[in-house]
Amino acid sequence: MDKLRLGVIGAGSVVREIYRHLYFHSDYSRLLSIEAAADPSAAALSDFCDPYGIAAELRYGDYREMIASIPLDAVQVNTPDSLHEEPTVRALKAGLDVLVPKPLADTIGAAHAMIDAARTSGRLLVVDFHKRDDPRIREAAARYRRGDYGEYQCSVWYMLDKLMVADPNHEPRFFASPDFVERNSPISFLTVHMVDALLSIIGLRPVSVCATSWNQKLSSLRPIAPKGCDMCDTEVRFENGGVAHIITGWHLPNAAHANTVQSARLICSNGMVDLGLDTPGFRELAAEGIQERNPLFRNFEPDGSVSGYGISRPGRLYGQILRFRRGEMSPEERDRILSPVELGFWTTVALQAAERSLALGEGRERGTTRGVAVDVEELVRAELGGAAEAYLRPEATEGACRG
């Protein structure tokens, strides 16, 4: 087998911004043969399929018909986070391997169902947390795990988007459909990136989560005033007593120097790490103003190919799937890939805990909501019942955390 026969489920903005480059213009394109695409939006299908000559008969309004109709090796599920579970489980049960963009799912129950389906079907499930391939994150993780910085104590992370990302009144629209903010939050859309990046460095399990949110900008927009929060501060406490504050939002002025302004500082018992994530490459002064370009994430080469860790992370995951289908992967490696930490289960736990914290919280004046502290172990047990023990027993996850 030289190539994976891939079906694309969901052809919207994430495909436009990232994955079409992976499929057709990267060093990893040789691993993939795009066999078909499915999306309920005919316009999204046309926008994706037309430039690459994907025939009309290979475009499906329903992914279930696609899976049942043509021979495939794998699918990529590019649906909204809340819709990851059903197509993933269906594809795994049909004998296909699956790649999902971050996060694995938006609820603990859905994450467990996907992990369980992968294990019982004998197939492979992988998640594109592309920040895990950011060379700065990888280097910090390697140095932390060999003991350069001592014990993790605390950190502050921020990831703030321009307002246009969530503003349905902006022309042209970026991501924002009129209900974008209702279907997403800064926690589900951005905090998951930073939580997972932190977990990939320190290898610790969260034990409690408490969030605060603000709704002071989006509600003032006209003519459409989105119903949702502008910014969230998610406090995560870890099993060693360490704490993190992860601040995310989409309300920066559109004159900001980058679509996403982000960085982090970690303080440990023997040192401190500053991750200058918002100065990734170079700044240019052009007609549209001062802009920060991030060639580390996505770099357009002179020959038309696209590189960067936004491409290399899913590309390497497809390399894993190809080796698995060739019979070149050991059972031990497959078990590691399907471990809760590798699949981002604890990232999903932190996500749901933060959303639960706000749902149970108390509204304050001027659009502020202060959430309550959510105990992670209690939440996992409440969501999974007896199945929770497989995730909560230290012996089930410690090796994967620190491996």
Report the relative pairing of strands 368-370 and 206-214 from DSSP bridges. Answer: antiparallel
Mean pLDDT of 45-71: 97
Joined tokens for residue 324: 């698995």
Question: How far apart, in Å, are the Cα atoms of 160 and each of 170, 200, 270?
Answer: 17, 21, 29
pLDDT for the residue numbered 395: 62
Structure tokens, 378:
């209690």
Least confident of 208-217, 244-253, 364-373: 364-373
Contact 140, 201 (CB under 8 A): yes
Do 386 and 326 form a contact (C-beta atoms < 8 A)? no
Q: Pull the structure tokens for residue 339.
A: 């471990």
Contact assessment for residue 184 and residue 278, using Cβ atoms and an 8 Å cutoff: no
**In CATH, what class is 4-128+305-329?**
alpha beta
CATH 3.30.360.10 in the chain is located at 132-297+346-402
Region(s) of the chain under CATH 3.40.50.720: 4-128+305-329
- Calculate mean pLDDT across residues 303-318: 97
CA distance 271 to 212: 29
* Residue 364, both tokens: 């304050």
User: Half-sphere exposure of 257 toward its Cβ, with a 13 Å CA cutoff?
Assistant: 15
Q: In 94-226, which residue ranges form alpha helices assigned H by DSSP?
A: 108-121, 135-145, 180-183, 186, 192-202
pLDDT on residue 289: 86
pTM equals: 0.94
- pLDDT tens per residue across span 83-104: 999 999 999 999 999 999 999 9
Tens of pLDDT, residue by residue over 357-376, are 999 999 877 899 999 999 99
Distance (Å) of CA 314 to CA 21, 140, 252, 301, 375: 11, 21, 29, 18, 33
Pairing between β-strand 368-370 and β-strand 282-286 as defined by DSSP bridges:
unpaired
Closest CA to 338 of 349, 328, 329: 329
Q: Smallest Cα–Cα separation from 105: which of 390, 385, 352?
A: 352
Mean pLDDT of 237-252: 97
Give the architecture (CATH level 2) of 132-297+346-402. 2-Layer Sandwich (3.30)
Angle in degrees, 0-180, between the axes of helices 192-202 and 135-145, rounded to the nearest 10? 40
pLDDT tens column, 93-146: 999 999 999 999 999 999 999 999 999 999 999 999 999 999 999 999 999 999
Cβ neighbours, 10 Å, residue 16 = 14
The secondary structure of the chain in percent helix, strand, coil, rounded to multiples of 5, reads 45, 25, 30
The residue among 372, 152, 380, 120 whose CA lies nearest residue 268 is 152
